[in-house]
Structure 1
């Protein structure tokens, strides 16, 4: 009886922690919604300016066309009446006509570029509005879920009569989180990332068309291309962090190798991955959870340990997966971190790892002391379908 009571209490703790986590994330989601709304307003403002400029350019082109026709007519008249006009008059008329023609060509080219920018900005506005609407729907859904959990907590506890139901509930939560991340990653990939790639193409086209002050124009275009490439790289990194699509295509191990490669390049920490035993294709939810555990552990090492080396060992056996993550960093006092709990960033990172391990019905061991590095051992029993 006491064992059942302790299980129910633990379930209660998990649900309370879930509510706490959702409440904390609500602020971040609200910030995303506000950012999306501000982005829409800024794009609308920029689009309005571009439209005003297009109208001004069109008027200037119309004036230049009239001026160009007059200059050509005057040049024709001077050419025909060479007995009336001098050679100097003819040269001036020709220079004037040629200058007007060049100004007209440049102004038409500027008009063409502005119209292209207007189309791109209109497309960006459409995409930004879609992102804003989706973010708003997510915020409403999270609020509804929070209120539901708060209002039905006792009912949920009564209906959960076995410890295995905790695992099912946890996996469903992970699946919902990953599905939302996948949708957001797909939206960003199809929207902002494609727009950034299009900017690179447009800059190269403009670079070829520019024929005035070539040196300066090329410098500006090169700067723009650098900014665009950096933005594109950041967006794609965000996409990868939200949902590593290679998990579905390549599997867990290749995805980890790629992530570790990028982690080494970004942090300078030497990370080695050693895989033992026969690799088993696990359930996608389990693979995602393992990936997030390793991701969180490496993030803690980078932020807090001051380590120069880290080692990850994954051992597959017929019945379970053993995972070991260790570093040569400064270590920490485990008791103090447990006491501080969520009040410290490092403690919160370990809590995230612990919660994911528990949701997978696994065991977690943390060994650390000041000056002696940290070692995390995780043992996850594989479901029968994987066995």
Structure 2
């Protein structure tokens, strides 16, 4: 900020960074929560398996303990009546009692380890459950903060937003006015101004012809002068029509398009224009009618001026919620990847289509003509 002037771009950048950071934090929390839930489910399954193993080990331990008591009794009986048993029987009784004692000891150790594992899993499960609960709480809190940032905070800065919009609109209006003035000055200079200058020269030539060659030659020159004046008048009317066709307000979109395309066909000998309107046309918001007219106008102008076409097809399809427009020509075409970003005409069309929330598709290739397709959502005139 400098003085009392607010830097709207800096505020927008800071605000955008805050929202992005909060959104990223929320995503990170979601990831942590999801990973914790997955770990929780895995540990829960493992805990069930450990508990099942503990139950099996306990059953096995009880059997081993019973067998161990029996083997000890058997070994004590053999030891007591040592003389009545053979050496092999004494050794077998001793080895059986010893093996059962080892197995029982291993069983008790395994049971202890399983119980410790169970206790550890139960503690970790409790910790994961607390982590999941905290993550859910954090997500809720982040959502509250983001709702505040994206709604309440914007309402607080409504005055700044209004000022920013006014500033942006003013700049766009000034820029559009300057561009329009440049275009008009070029067209008037190259068209009517040049023609009127030629009229003056031809009028001087008529006077000289009359003095030097007589009335008949002067009348011939005068006929040429009338053609030149008529062309200048047509050019002036065309410029006025390009500024804003008055028929658009009075008659509507379709009649104005028909009249415009007939005029273009007359000006461009050798180029045939086919027009078709499908569905019931109706009046829509004036700005939308102007936008649609300009899109068709720019497409047809590009086709006749740059495409060098002999056929142009213009189709308008009225639907319940939108109007679809197709402008196709059999001209020279172009490579959209090379031309689109450098063509002011295409850039202007795309900006215009964005303003009315429409869609624009350009299909073209060298030597195969060009197809322009537009889809504009319908807003009826109230």
Q: TM-score range by the shorter chain?
A: 0.3 to 0.5
Larger Cα Rg: Structure 1 or Structure 2? 2
TM-score of the two chains, using structure 2 as the length reference: 0.44
Higher relative contact order (CA 8 A, sep 6+): 1
